[in-house]
């Protein structure tokens, strides 16, 4: 494994070699997805804790703040963002599901769905157990692939890094 890039931290992605693994050269998690979900589903204390954290984190709503606190807030940009998020169908529930994914699996993904003019029109949650990350040796994400490994006939769907919000 010497010389291969590795992802470190508490995520199940740790100790996963980046190159030459999984779907189209993308890394697959070492841990079993079903184990994480089964722990959530079968242990009432774990399920209650995860649900409570996700609910509390998403009940307060959201606000739009600039990355740099010294930056001037442009009302026209905030209006565009508010319009976009107002058009999302039941966005708080979707956000809660993403938050649960993050707590259960260690990762969560939203696909930025474009219209025909390549403008974002909605955000769609992607099940983390179907996502495989392809990264260069330096850790830069090259692509995301969506494929259910349990479905042999399923063809991988490729996403560019800018099409996915990865938490």
Q: What is the pLDDT of residue 22?
A: 62
CA distances from 164 to 33, 35, 72, 76, 111 (A): 20, 25, 27, 25, 5
Query: Number of H helices and number of E strands within the chain?
Result: 4, 6
Q: What are phi and psi of 165, to 5 degrees?
A: -100, 115
CA gap 92, 85 in Å, rounded? 10
Kindly give the confidence (pLDDT) of every residue in the chain, 167 residues in length, as a single tens digit, with 9 standing for 90 and above. 444 444 444 445 444 444 445 676 666 665 567 788 888 999 999 999 999 999 998 887 677 777 777 888 888 888 888 888 888 888 888 889 999 999 998 899 999 999 999 889 899 999 998 898 998 888 889 999 998 877 777 788 999 999 999 98
Token duo for residue 10: 């508490």
For residue 58, give the 3-state DSSP assignment: helix
């Amino acid at each position: 494994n010497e010389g291969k890039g590795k992802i470190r931290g508490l995520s199940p992605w740790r100790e996963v070699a980046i190159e030459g693994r999984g779907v189209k050269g993308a890394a697959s998690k070492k841990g079993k997805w079903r184990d994480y979900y089964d722990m959530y589903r079968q242990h009432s204390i774990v399920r209650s804790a995860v649900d409570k954290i996700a609910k509390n984190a998403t009940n307060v709503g959201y606000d739009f703040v600039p990355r740099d606190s010294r930056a001037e807030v442009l009302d026209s940009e905030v209006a565009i963002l508010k319009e976009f998020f107002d058009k999302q169908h039941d966005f708080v529930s979707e956000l809660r599901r993403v938050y649960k994914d993050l707590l259960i699996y260690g990762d969560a993904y939203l696909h930025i769905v474009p219209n025909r003019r390549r403008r974002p029109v909605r955000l769609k949650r992607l099940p983390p157990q179907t996502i495989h990350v392809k990264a260069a040796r330096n850790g830069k994400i090259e692509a995301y692939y969506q494929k259910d490994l349990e479905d042999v006939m399923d063809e991988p769907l490729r996403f560019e890094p800018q099409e996915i919000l990865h938490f």
